[in-house]
Amino acid sequence: MARYLVTGGAGYVGSHVVLALLNRGDDVVVLDNLRQGHREAVSPGAELVVGDLADHKLLRDTLARGQFDGVLHFAALSLVGESMRDPMRYIAENLSHTMWLADAAVRAGVRRFVLSSTAALFGLPTRIPIDEAEQVAPVSAYGESKLMAERGLEWADRIHGLRSASLRYFNAAGADPGGRLGEDHNPETHLIPNAVNAVLGLGPPLTVFGTDYDTPDGTAIRDYVHVADLADAHLRVLDKLVDGPSCRYNVGSGTGASVMEVIAAVERAAGRPVPHTLGPRREGDPPVLVASNERLRQETGWSPRLGALDDIVGTAYAWRARNPSGYKGMAVKKEAVSA
Ligand SMILES: NC(=O)c1ccc[n+]([C@@H]2O[C@H](COP(=O)([O-])OP(=O)(O)OC[C@H]3O[C@@H](n4cnc5c(N)ncnc54)[C@H](O)[C@@H]3O)[C@@H](O)[C@H]2O)c1
């Protein structure tokens, strides 16, 4: 059994990783300001500390409470569009929070650190699938902020021996197959939850951005990785860091799905059409982004178990259909049960 601090553990990806850590018997403390996250997303069994990463004393005090074996850092600003309106805030916040957290970890004698990084740091890639040797050239301030955080962690290793893994996620999607957790962002910018909301009448019709790409059906192709598989990748990488060097992995299913294929999968899950309109391309959106997950597979034994698009979309649909108001509705249900 190991003990981990998970920042952003009340958010979408973090909450699924917390569940996976608890399931294997680890001890988890979540630090989250609940700005985007949800108290109800923190599984029973994990301790929740409500606070902000800007509070350096809180970071040091939390890490001083018992020996932690590692830190998993999910908490960040992560909206690409917003980052292009407010680049200084994104770079300042995402970089400085990572660095002060790493500083607190080093002071507390923590040896392992996992960063939620992103495929956005590849910008407009030169080849598909995208492997770890692809050049990094972000085209958004968000991507740049994560690249800087990765580079800062290299120094934490070089000078202090803090071993880190930067996991460059492609598109995290889906929900806990057990129905306990799901995706509940506000605003929601991701395709699958927006298509699910549209089909359930919980959101506006979906807009398809671009129908004239050089792809088989003209819509953009992305790599969707099930959030439970993503969680499994974190567990494997944490174990690898015990006696392995710092590392970087691209984490994706290794296959691509077009916007139209996602819509068709949502229609299969719901049994009715997804209301949608066709719009122009968004600036800076490449036609195809698909990961090579070869390195992750070979070095950690990981492989996606819920890689099929119908598994990803099916679990996302099931959670939202059962929780139309998201976690807010779950809190109300819990209150009704205890009243
Ligand atoms: N979701 C994806 O597809 C995706 C893809 C690539 C990378 N990522 C990265 O993965 C991480 C998690 O993504 P997510 O979709 O789960 O995001 P999320 O917004 O659901 O979760 C982030 C959590 O961090 C918390 N948080 C944010 N700033 C904080 C602060 N200053 N102090 C304390 N808590 C704070 C939020 O309240 C939220 O609970 C992010 O770092 C994101 O950049 C996500």
Q: How confident is the model over 256-304, as pLDDT tens digits?
A: 999 999 999 999 999 999 999 999 998 878 899 999 999 999 999 999 9
CB 73 within 8 A of CB 104: no
Instruction: Quote the mean pLDDT of the chain.
Output: 96
pLDDT at 114: 98
In this prediction, residues 327-334 reach a mean pLDDT of 74
Checking if the pLDDT of 4 tops 70, the result is yes
326 lines ligand 1 (CB under 6 A): no
- Ligand 1 atom with the shortest distance to the CA of 142: 43
Ordered by where they begin, the domains of the chain are: 3-174+225-252+291-304 (3.40.50.720)
Centre of ligand 1 to C-alpha 218, Å, is 31
8 lines ligand 1 (CB under 6 A): yes
Centre of ligand 1 to C-alpha 11, Å, is 6
Percent of the chain with pLDDT over 90: 94
Q: Is it true that the peptide bond before 205 is cis, omega within 30 degrees of 0?
A: no
3-class DSSP assignment, residue 324: coil
225 lines ligand 1 (CB under 6 A): no
In this prediction, residues 21-38 reach a mean pLDDT of 98
| Active site residues per annotation | 142
pLDDT at 339: 45
Centre of ligand 1 to C-alpha 214, Å, is 32
User: Which helix (H) or strand (E) covers residue 234, if one does?
Assistant: helix 227-240
Q: Exposed e or buried b for every residue in 297-317, given b needs 16+ CB within 10 A?
A: eeebebebebbebebbbbbbb
215 lines ligand 1 (CB under 6 A): no
pLDDT at 183: 98
174 lines ligand 1 (CB under 6 A): no
- Ligand 1 atom with the shortest distance to the CA of 52: 32
Centre of ligand 1 to C-alpha 36, Å, is 8
pLDDT at 333: 62
In this prediction, residues 245-255 reach a mean pLDDT of 98
User: Which helix (H) or strand (E) covers residue 240, if one does?
Assistant: helix 227-240
Which residues are within 8 A (CB) of 195 and not within 5 positions of it... i.e. 6 or more apart? Answer: 206, 262, 263, 266, 274, 276
Which residues are within 8 A (CB) of 162 and not within 5 positions of it... i.e. 6 or more apart? Answer: 102, 105, 106, 110, 111, 112, 113, 153, 156
Residue closest to 117 by CA, chosen among 161, 77, 169, 187: 169
Q: Is it true that the peptide bond before 273 is cis, omega within 30 degrees of 0?
A: no
3-class DSSP assignment, residue 7: strand
Residue closest to 313 by CA, chosen among 173, 133, 194, 189: 173
Q: What is the DSSP letter of 276?
A: E
